Amino acid sequence: MPAATSHRPPKPALRWALMLAGVIVVFGGVFALKAFFAKQTNNFFDNMPQPAVAVSADTAKTQHWSTGGEAVGTLVAINGTNVTTEAGGVVRQISFESGQPVSAGTVLVRLNTANEEATLKALETSARLADVQAQRWQQLGKDKLVSLDEVQTRTAAAANARAQVEAQRALIAQKTIRAPFTGVLGIRQINLGQYIAPGAAIVSLQQLDPVYVDFTLPEQMIGTLATGSTVQATVDAVPGQTFEGTVTAVEPQVDVSTRNFKARATLRNPDGTLRPGSFAKLGFGLGAARDVVVIPQTAVSFNPYGNAVFVITSEKRKPGETDATGKPLTGEKLVVNQRFIKTGATRGDLIAVTDGLKPGERVVTAGLLKLRNGSEVTIDNQIQPASDSKPQVQNR
């Protein structure tokens, strides 16, 4: 008889344990290998030498600047108004052309005065009669034939009649509209035969020589700007030309809403080039010249928490430093570090530094966005800033 075959019971738990151990070993090895390569890659990039950043630079210098200020203002006519009439009436005659220069007293418009002139004749006749009667009663009073009260009554009546005549003549004169001052007329706003009411605008009249320029300044400058100070004004309508004037008035009070005060300068304008209402840029001096430390404005990073610059210094290279190709580097290198400063006035391309920088220190003027503390830089200067108060753009 064949021998009996023994069957061992299956062990599923052991099989699953072996399979799980195998999976753990395989995936653990994969992740361990991946972590190893990632660490090596990070170490390579962390220790890889950074190429030097190309920037332009300039040296902080001492210059002799006169203290000055700038402002914007509006040109205002020294005399300017809309010519109107005191008495209403129908336009009978227009004696001017739009845009015409006129002298003070020139007749511009005449209104219809036919009724007023007829009334004047009647009043003049009554006045003459009243004068004759007053003279007669004065003679009778001297002869004691009438009372003094009657004489005074007749005399007052004659004076009243003469006053009515003068009032009527004044009314007729009001209907002849004249230029109140010398200037240039604007565009005519009436027509022949039109009835115009008292106060209605007929034409604008502006006196153009000289002209005022009104501007505002912060309250901190109220003690530094004085009448008689010289100002230079430029307007966009006349490019390339500067108009010189004098401060003629300074408002004694400060506006509570803006904390600014108003000032007014007077400019000569013999050719009528400057026109009221135009925008003007002003520059003026506020004191004696002084030495200031200046740098290009492009070197300053203006921030809400403070203005800063990148200062360039030299330092020795560390042993073992290499370039991007692995070549060893020796000697000194240029590095930058950020420093906060206090700034003052500007002039042209330059800005004054009141604190935080000394003459002779070098600062980065272009390429600031690529920098951080300790960055190595190389300097490439091609265009240098200037302190010209009126820089001109050049085509390159």
Q: In the predicted model, is pLDDT for residue 66 greater than 80? A: no
Q: What is the residue range of 331's domain?
A: 53-65+290-379
The string of pLDDT tens digits covering residues 212-224 is 999 988 887 887 7
Please indicate, yes or no, if residue 236 is contained in any of the structural domains: yes
The string of pLDDT tens digits covering residues 293-347 is 999 988 898 888 889 999 988 888 766 665 555 566 666 788 889 999 998 878 7
Instruction: Mark which of 174, 191, 223 sits at the end of a domain.
Output: 174
Q: Are residues 274 and 302 in the same domain?
A: no
The string of pLDDT tens digits covering residues 142-196 is 767 767 777 778 788 878 888 888 888 888 888 888 999 898 999 999 899 899 9
Strands annotated E in 85-139:
89-94, 101-102, 107-111
Q: What is the CATH number of the domain that holds 194?
A: 2.40.50.100
Q: Are residues 222 and 274 in the same domain?
A: yes
Please indicate, yes or no, if residue 37 is contained in any of the structural domains: no
Q: Are residues 349 and 279 in the same domain?
A: no
DSSP secondary structure string, 271-293? Answer: T--S-TT-EEEEEEEEEEEEEEE
Q: Are residues 244 and 254 in the same domain?
A: yes
Q: What is the CATH number of the domain that holds 321?
A: 2.40.420.20
The residue length of the chain stands at 396
Q: Are residues 316 and 363 in the same domain?
A: yes
Please indicate, yes or no, if residue 183 is contained in any of the structural domains: yes
pTM of the predicted model over 0.75: no
Side chain identity at 190, as an amino acid letter? I
The string of pLDDT tens digits covering residues 345-377 is 787 788 889 888 999 999 998 888 888 888 888
Q: In the predicted model, is pLDDT for residue 5 greater than 70? A: no
Q: Are residues 180 and 133 in the same domain?
A: no
Instruction: Mark which of 199, 232, 257 sits at the end of a domain.
Output: 199
Please indicate, yes or no, if residue 396 is contained in any of the structural domains: no
The string of pLDDT tens digits covering residues 99-145 is 889 999 899 999 988 887 788 788 888 888 878 877 777 777 776 77
Please indicate, yes or no, if residue 158 is contained in any of the structural domains: yes
Q: Are residues 164 and 259 in the same domain?
A: no
The string of pLDDT tens digits covering residues 207-250 is 888 899 999 888 878 877 878 888 888 888 888 888 888 888 98
Query: How many angstroms separate the Cα of 155 from the Cα of each of 41, 139, 150?
Result: 122, 12, 9
- Report which of residues 336 and 30 the model is more confident about: 336
Q: In the predicted model, is pLDDT for residue 383 greater than 60? A: no
How many structural domains comprise the chain?
4
Please indicate, yes or no, if residue 142 is contained in any of the structural domains: yes
Q: What is the CATH number of the domain that holds 121?
A: 1.10.287
Cβ atoms 141, 154 nearer than 8 A: no
Q: In the predicted model, is pLDDT for residue 395 greater than 50? A: no
Return d(Cα 50, Cα 235) in angstroms, integer.
51
Six-digit token string for 3: 């021998």
What's the average model confidence in pLDDT over 2-7? 52
Q: What is the CATH number of the domain that holds 279?
A: 2.40.30.170
Q: Are residues 155 and 252 in the same domain?
A: no
Six-digit token string for 148: 């003094």
Please indicate, yes or no, if residue 235 is contained in any of the structural domains: yes
Q: Are residues 274 and 257 in the same domain?
A: yes
Six-digit token string for 180: 């109140």
Q: Are residues 298 and 279 in the same domain?
A: no
Return d(Cα 211, Cα 272) in angstroms, integer.
9
Q: Are residues 275 and 296 in the same domain?
A: no
Closest by CA position to 350, among listed 392, 313, 388, 295: 295
**Residue 163 backbone phi and psi in degrees, to 5:** -65, -40
Q: Are residues 255 and 348 in the same domain?
A: no
